[in-house]
Amino acid sequence: MKSIYNTRAARDEEVVTAFLSSHWPPTISGLASMLINIPELYIEYSLINKYGVEINNDTIVSHGNLKKQDQFTFVLRNIGGPAHVDEIKNALLTLFGTTDGLHNIEANLSRRDDVLLAGSRTFCLYENLGVSSDSISEIRETAFNYINKMGDYVRANILCEKLFAQKTFDGVQITPYNLLGILQDDSRYITKPGLIIGLKTFGNTWQLQDAIEEIVQNHGPIHTRAVLNHLPENRMVPEVTVSTVLRDHSDFIRVDPGTYDTIGHVFGSKSQKDTLISQVRNELVRQKESEGVLYTRYVEGRFQNLNHFAFRTLLERNFKVDYSTGKFGLN
């Protein structure tokens, strides 16, 4: 009896594997051609029993209780290449009559080992990429050796330019997004916003962040575009990454559009900044006030490097603004 059960379980597993490896909608005869010595009637029984599918004239016409992640697999396989989450959502409705939020689709696919990030919010099955597992391993090892030698985070664009620009893998040219997807599925790597790639052995210290902070400390006030000019070539990053590092950092403040300076240079010291915030808070306990009134009352003649833009930045960080009146109040 045990032998019969094991044989049946093995057959069911073969049927499921063939089913999940097909395009949608699969046909029973097509699945039978992929399986050895498993009758079509048994295939029908196995799929109805496991998934509750409906079959009409050899074709599976209803997905029954097929899991959402399996639906995603069929969708991506049918598309046959990279697909944006909008396209995936539409195909999900067309093929299965189901829907899901774009965020849920993106979150589901981002966690899967068999799915590659192929662009901004764009995903592809590894099997559709057309790159062999040996090539994937070669790409990962080549990038690992380069990043490990550099000892710092590197942008995917730089890796592609330095390592893969003159080479294809199984006829496929590796793009920065392809590379990011291939590497982030390897537990040795860690990724940051802006297509930044490093190694887990680097820990949580992001040397790029340290470099940006040092540049502003030495050259502030400085525009984010100018910060990029001070970074070594291997640390090329998009301007938005520089802004992200500095925007909410307690040691820096935006003093003009896209321009940052240190708290020490603008206020003299952190304690003077805290004193100013305390004075403004005491004022706002009594009533809401505009930036202009507060600036005249507490800044003019006291802080030579604190302009209206920087003062407004400080107020927006610490207080609530009523956009209908332009006045600030307590949170």
pLDDT in tens, 81-101: 888 989 999 999 999 998 888
Look at the chain and report how many structural domains it folds into: 5
> Which pLDDT belongs to residue 270?
85
What's the mean per-residue pLDDT of the chain? 87
Range 3-9 average pLDDT: 59
Q: Do 211 and 189 sit in the same domain of this protein?
A: no
Q: Which of 6-15, 29-38, 72-81, 122-131 has the lowest mean pLDDT?
A: 6-15
Tell me which of 266, 289, 305 is where a domain ends: 266
* Confidence label for 3 from pLDDT (cuts 50, 70 and 90): very low
CB atoms within 10 A of CB 36: 7
Question: 92 — phi, psi (to 5°)?
Answer: -60, -40
Domain holding 173, by residue range, is 133-202
Tell me which of 159, 182, 202 is where a domain ends: 202
Helix (H, G, I), strand (E, B) or coil at 329: strand
* Residue 296: HSE in the Cβ half-sphere, 13 Å Cα cutoff: 4
Answer whether residue 178 shows pLDDT above 80. yes
> Which pLDDT belongs to residue 255?
94
Q: What is the pLDDT of residues 9-65, one digit of tens each?
A: 888 899 999 999 999 999 999 999 988 889 999 999 999 999 999 999 999 988 888
